[in-house]
């Protein structure tokens, strides 16, 4: 009998297949079929984005963040990459019986601080408690709403020559969670990049006319999976330049030691922009002025060749295909 | 050290205290402070309701429903009792590794059927998988949006003489979940009342002018807890008439056998209306015409005496206070 495995939740091809064969099949509708980070709806005359995410990260506290702030950042970012201004969040808790109240307080306080910093309100919530052993400490669902203020995001606008920009070093969230979980210390300490990107994104969009054509935050499955999602079923490919991909020393060391490829590691405070070539340098400058974007870089470009695929020009001078993984390297990363 | 207990999630005073002392304290804002089933927001010029609920019911299949349809009904009802027309739902899954794919399919199919029947679309979702033993089979979060079409709901409009109407027999959901969980069979089989009430409520509101002053669905903690939430910190009391409270034979037998009070048992397809006395009979007729409202009844009225309290005139001719429980009789009822 078919069983659900950890890989079904990891952002790779197995998850996409499960979603297509079970979820999309049953819930089929036009909005869901867009497969965006948020659903785009019209309420009255206002276009809004609506999104949901459940957070099951293990451990609940990790270098650079915790499940509370992560739950706020993740949903704020899912709205932001759809051109929406995040405004209202829900906060649903599932708590394991026996959790210290002080831990709950710490997590809620962290979520509240993250919400305040991002300028969003938590307006509705729910609290469930399950028996000891029926969940792992605490799970949080945040759903979010925001008005669309930039409606020029569409993969159909992407064309050969457009640039792929990443807002900072990749994989820091995944490595920080891994080190927190396993108690591994790397030579250079890695902190999660978990952060709300709504302000950074808004600055870019306001300053660059209609040049930004697409955005996505490379969470589960990392940059490789996100770029594959963008090229999939489209008539363009992406050529990445390995030398240009920002990777911090700590992440680089961890990948060398553990055999991970940073392109597949989750970020929680990075965004990928696809933008017209002529504006790419200007956009890069704007991103780099933001405290979450100091090490942003142009990491590749859209190509006519190898339609639907992502290729990497390696630092060693070779060229290889960057596929979507079937599962993921690390479960419960968010 | 203070620990979270099952009672903190059961809808009673302990949950209210936890929410006040931890959640409300940190997330404090005007919308959250309304403590409604949904947050009421203005998007553009449109007033909307926004709500969230996580479902952890055990067992996931019970007589009359399952976690999939329950997750849709519950969120549809939370929007409906705020005078909103439910439109868009999110669907967040947390799945335990090893769950049969066929069970997931059955649950998703049931949720899809419930959504279609209620006339709502599931527009965005999320799927997480956790290791075996890190959650109990499957948890679902649904958040929902709907436009407000009736804005006359306020406890401030309630006055002495107003009638309390319940749309059907109470406690069926709780007893059906209990019988499913423990494998107990009662002489008369009890099926959950789980149902979407948006159409029933809309019929009532459209036909009764501004007579309906307040609505709430008596889920966790049952009718007793819901009515105590309504009277709390208000200058009126509620007098209930025990003989008038509809209780099915099966629920009555189960309560006798197990020592439960039906007033504290959760419903998932019932709504309580507080309405002007002169329109109460008309409203009752409208409810009874709906297939989910056949056994609706006027169960009490608003009193000037015993401010903030709920009193029961018992079938035996006595009178007793109906308090909010501190915990609940049954954990993981929804």
**What is the C-alpha separation between B137 and B56, in angstroms, rounded?**
9
Q: Judge: B32–A124 Cβ closer than 8 Å, yes or no.
A: yes
**Would you state the pLDDT for residue A56?**
98
Calpha distance B151→B147 (Å, rounded): 11
- For B27-81, the DSSP string reads H--HHHHT--SSEEEEETTEEEEEEEEEE--SSSEETTEEHHHHHHHHHHHHHHT
Q: Does residue B59 have a cis peptide bond before it, meaning omega lies within 30 degrees of 0?
A: yes
- Residue B32, pLDDT > 90, answer no
Are the C-beta atoms of B169 and B266 separated by less than 8 Å? no
Res A182: pLDDT:
84
The Cα of A78 is separated from the nearest Cα of chain B by a number of Å equal to: 11
**Domain final position from A130, A148, A166:** A148
Nearest CA-CA distance, residue B143 and chain A, Å: 7
B155-181 per-position pLDDT tens digit? 999 999 999 999 999 999 999 999 999
Provide the number of CB pairs (under 8 Å) joining chain A to chain B.
295
Burial of A131 (0-12, 13-18, 19+ CB in 10 A): middle
Q: Is residue B295 part of a domain?
A: yes
Both tokens of A229, joined, read 């999602």
pLDDT number for residue B329: 66
Which chain B residue has the Cα nearest residue A25?
Answer: B109
- Between the alpha carbon of residue B330 and those of residues A332, B20, B320, the distances in Å are 30, 22, 23
Give backbone dihedrals phi and psi of A178, rounded to 5 degrees, phi first.
Answer: -60, -45
Examine the domain organization and report whether A312 and A178 are in the same domain.
Answer: yes
Q: Where are the alpha helices (DSSP H) in B166-243?
A: 172-182, 198-207, 222-231
The upper half-sphere exposure of residue B204, i.e. CA atoms within 13 Å in the direction of its Cβ, equals 36
pLDDT digits (tens, 9 = 90+) for B61-94: 999 999 999 999 999 999 999 999 999 999 999 9
Asked if A3 lies within 8 A of B98 by C-beta distance, the reply is: yes
CB contact under 8 A, B4 and A96: yes
> How many C-beta atoms lie closer than 10 Å to residue B188's C-beta?
12
Residue A246 pLDDT > 90: yes
pLDDT of B204-245, one tens digit each? 999 999 999 999 999 999 999 999 999 998 999 999 999 999
B4 and A102 within 8 Å at the Cβ level: the answer is no
Closest CA to A267 of A95, A87, A73, A109: A73
**Other C-beta atoms lying within 10 Å of the C-beta of residue B211:** 22
Query: Would you call A132 helix, strand, or coil by DSSP?
Result: coil
Question: How does strand B65-66 pair with strand B61-62?
Answer: antiparallel
CB contact under 8 A, B23 and A127: yes
Q: Domain for residue A271, yes or no?
A: yes
Q: Which one of A52, A102, A130 has the shortest CB-CB distance to B126?
A: A52
- Residue where a domain stops, chosen among A148, A164, A183: A148
Residue A293 corresponds to which tokens in the numbers above?
């974007």
Are B331 and A130 a contacting pair at CB < 8 A? yes
Q: Tell me whether residues B147 and A115 touch, CB distance under 8 A.
A: no
Q: What is the pLDDT averaged over residues B9-16?
A: 87
Residue B323 pLDDT greater than 80, yes or no: yes
CB A134 within 8 A of CB A248: no
Considering only CB atoms, which chain B residues are within 8 Å of A88?
Answer: 31, 39, 41, 50
**Residues in B touching A332 (Cβ below 8 Å):** 128, 130-131, 134
Please tell me the pTM assigned to this model.
Answer: 0.96
Nearest residue, CB atoms, A127 vs list B15, B46, B109: B15
pLDDT at A1: 64
Q: Flag whether B20 is in a domain.
A: no
CB half-sphere exposure, A299, CA atoms < 13 A: 27
Q: How far apart are CA B285 and CA A174, in angstroms?
A: 59
Do the chains contact at B135 and A136, CB–CB below 8 Å?
Answer: yes
Higher-pLDDT residue of B144, B9 = B144
Shared-domain flag, residues A185 and A201: yes
Give A89's Cβ-side CA count (13 Å radius).
Answer: 32
Nearest CB neighbour to B6, from listed A6, A22, A131: A131
Nearest to B143 among A32, A41, A90 (CB): A90
Q: Is B320 exposed, middle or buried (0-12, 13-18, 19+ CB in 10 A)?
A: exposed
Q: Are B145 and A43 a contacting pair at CB < 8 A?
A: yes
Read off the pLDDT of residues A128-178 as tens digits, 9 standing for 90 and up: 999 999 999 999 999 999 999 999 999 999 999 999 999 999 999 999 999
Q: Residue B38 and residue A125: Cβ atoms within 8 Å?
A: no
pLDDT tens-digit readout, A284-326: 999 999 999 999 999 999 999 889 999 999 999 999 999 988 7
| Separation CA A35–CA B225 (nearest Å) | 41
Judge whether B124 and B75 are in contact, CB under 8 Å.
no
Query: Does residue A171 belong to any structural domain of this protein?
Result: yes
Q: Which residue of B has its CA nearest to A334?
A: B128
A195 and A296 in a single domain? The answer is: yes
Give how far B320 is from chain A: nearest CA, Å.
30
Mutate to test the interface with A, among B120, B128, B130, B334 (most CBs of A within 10 A): B128
Q: What is the pLDDT of residue B280?
A: 98
B interface mutation test: which of A123, A221, A331 has the most B CBs within 10 A?
A123
How much is the pLDDT for A229? 93
Q: Chain A contacts of B9, Cβ < 8 Å? A: 95, 127-130
- pLDDT for A10 equals 83
Q: For the purposes of burial, counting CB atoms within 10 Å of the CB of A76, is it exposed (0-12), middle (13-18) or buried (19 or more)?
A: buried
| pLDDT band per the 50, 70, 90 thresholds, residue A125 | very high
Same domain, A87 and A227: no
Whole-number pLDDT of residue A328: 61
Mean of the per-residue pLDDT values of chain A: 95
Looking at the DSSP assignment, which residues form a beta bridge with residue A148? A84
| Option in A4, A7, A145 nearest B99 (CB) | A4
Q: Are A107 and A138 in contact (CB under 8 A)?
A: yes
Asked if the Cβ–Cβ distance from B124 to A15 is below 8 Å, we say no
Same domain, A280 and A131: no
What mean pLDDT comes out for the span A255-265? 94
Do A135 and A167 belong together in one domain? Answer: no
Q: How confident is the model at residue B30 (pLDDT cuts 50, 70, 90)?
A: confident
Residue-level pLDDT at A329: 66
Residue of A nearest to B25 (CA): A109
Provide the pLDDT for residue B278: 97
For residues A119 and A84, is the Cβ–Cβ distance under 8 A?
A: no
- Does A115 fall in a domain? yes
Task: Grade residue B35 by pLDDT with cuts at 50, 70 and 90.
Answer: confident
Q: Is the dihedral of CA A303, A304, A309, A314 positive or negative?
A: negative
In 3D, which of A28, A272, A164 has the Cα closest to residue B122? A28
Q: Give the model's confidence band at B196: pLDDT under 50 very low, under 70 low, under 90 confident, else very high.
A: very high
B175, part of any domain: yes
Residue A4: what pLDDT?
93
Q: In A, which residues are within 8 Å of B332 by CB distance? A: 128, 130-131, 134
Residues A136 and A166 in one domain: no
For residue B210, the tally of other CB atoms under 10 A from its CB is: 14
Answer for the pair A221, A324: CB distance below 8 angstroms, yes or no: yes
DSSP state of A100: B
Instruction: List b or e across A151-179, with b for residues whose CB sees 16 or more CB atoms inside 10 angstroms.
Output: eebebeebeeebbbbbbbbbbbbbbbbbb
- The rounded distance, in Å, linking the Cα atoms of B241 and B237 is 13
**Token digits for B162?**
């107003």
Q: How many CA atoms lie within 13 A of A82 on its CB side?
A: 27
CATH number, domain of B186, equals 3.90.650.10
Q: Do A120 and A249 sit in the same domain of this protein?
A: no
Does the distance separating the beta carbons of A4 and B104 come in below 8 Å?
yes
Q: How far apart are CA A325 and CA A333, in angstroms?
A: 15
Task: Give a yes or no: residue A81 inside a domain.
Answer: yes
Return the bridge partners of A320, or none.
A312
Note the pLDDT of residue A84.
98
**Inter-chain touch B4–A123, beta carbons under 8 Å:** no
CA distance A12 to chain B (A): 12
Same domain membership, residue B121 and residue B179? no
Q: Average model confidence (pLDDT) for chain B?
A: 95
- In whole angstroms, give the CA distance from residue A270 to residue A194: 8
Q: Please choose, from the candidates B224, B317, B298, B314, the residue with its C-alpha nearest in 3D space to the C-alpha of residue B267.
A: B224
Cβ atoms of A224 and A324 closer than 8 Å: yes
Provide the domain limits for residue B216: 155-321
Give A94's contacts in chain B (Cβ within 8 Å): 54, 56, 94, 139
- Tell me what pLDDT residue B159 has: 96
What's the number of domains chain A is made of?
A: 2
State whether B118 and B161 are in the same domain: no
Percent of chain B with pLDDT over 70: 99
The CATH number of the domain holding residue B61 is 3.30.1330.10
Q: Per the domain annotation, does B308 fall within a domain?
A: yes
Answer yes or no: are the C-beta atoms of A193 and A270 closer than 8 Å: yes
| Residues B92-106 pLDDT 10s | 999 999 999 999 999
Tokens, residue B284: 């009752």
Instruction: Give the residue on A whose Cα is nearest the Cα of B220.
Output: A128
Rounded to a whole number of angstroms, the distance from the CA of B190 to the nearest CA of chain A is 24
Interface ipTM above 0.85: yes
A74 with A189, same domain: the answer is no
Asked whether the beta carbons of residue B26 and residue A109 sit closer than 8 angstroms, the reply is: yes
* Residue A2: count of CB within 10 angstroms of its CB: 11
pLDDT of residue B156: 95
Q: Which of B52, B112, B129 sits opposite A26 (nearest CB)?
A: B112
Q: Are residues A162 and A89 in the same domain?
A: no
pLDDT category at A281 given cuts 50, 70, 90 is: very high
Residue ending a domain, among A125, A148, A171, is A148
* Alpha-carbon gap, residue B96 to B61, rounded angstroms: 16
């Amino acid at each position: 009998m078919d069983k659900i495995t950890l890989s079904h939740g990891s952002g790779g091809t197995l998850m996409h297949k499960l979603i297509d064969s079970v979820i999309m099949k049953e819930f089929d509708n036009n909005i869901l079929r867009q497969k965006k980070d948020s659903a785009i709806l019209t309420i009255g005359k206002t276009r809004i984005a609506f999104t949901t995410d459940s957070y099951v990260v293990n451990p609940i506290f990790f270098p650079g963040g915790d499940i509370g702030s992560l739950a706020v950042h993740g949903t704020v970012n899912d709205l932001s990459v759809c051109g929406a201004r995040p405004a209202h969040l829900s906060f649903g808790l599932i708590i394991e019986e026996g959790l210290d109240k002080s831990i709950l307080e710490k997590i809620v306080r962290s979520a509240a601080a993250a919400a305040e910093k991002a300028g969003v309100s938590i307006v509705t919530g729910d609290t469930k408690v399950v028996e000891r052993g029926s969940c792992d400490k605490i799970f949080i669902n945040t759903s979010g709403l925001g008005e669309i203020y930039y409606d020029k995001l569409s993969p159909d606008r992407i064309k050969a020559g457009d640039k792929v920009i990443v807002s900072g070093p990749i994989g820091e969230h995944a490595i920080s969670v891994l080190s927190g979980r396993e108690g591994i210390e790397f030579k250079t300490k890695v902190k999660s990049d978990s952060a709300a990107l709504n302000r950074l994104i808004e600055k870019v969009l306001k300053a660059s006319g209609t040049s930004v054509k697409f955005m996505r935050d490379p969470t589960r499955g990392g940059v490789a999976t996100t770029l594959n999602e963008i090229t999939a079923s489209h008539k363009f490919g992406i050529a990445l330049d390995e030398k240009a991909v920002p990777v911090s020393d700590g992440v680089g060391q961890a990948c060398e030691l553990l055999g991970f490829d940073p392109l597949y590691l989750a970020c929680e405070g990075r965004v990928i922009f696809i933008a017209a070539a002529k504006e790419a340098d200007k956009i890069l400058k704007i991103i780099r002025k933001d405290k979450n974007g100091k090490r942003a870089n142009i990491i590749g470009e859209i190509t006519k060749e190898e339609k639907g695929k992502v290729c990497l020009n390696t630092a060693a001078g070779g060229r290889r295909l960057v596929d979507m993984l079937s599962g993921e390297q690390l479960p419960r990363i968010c």
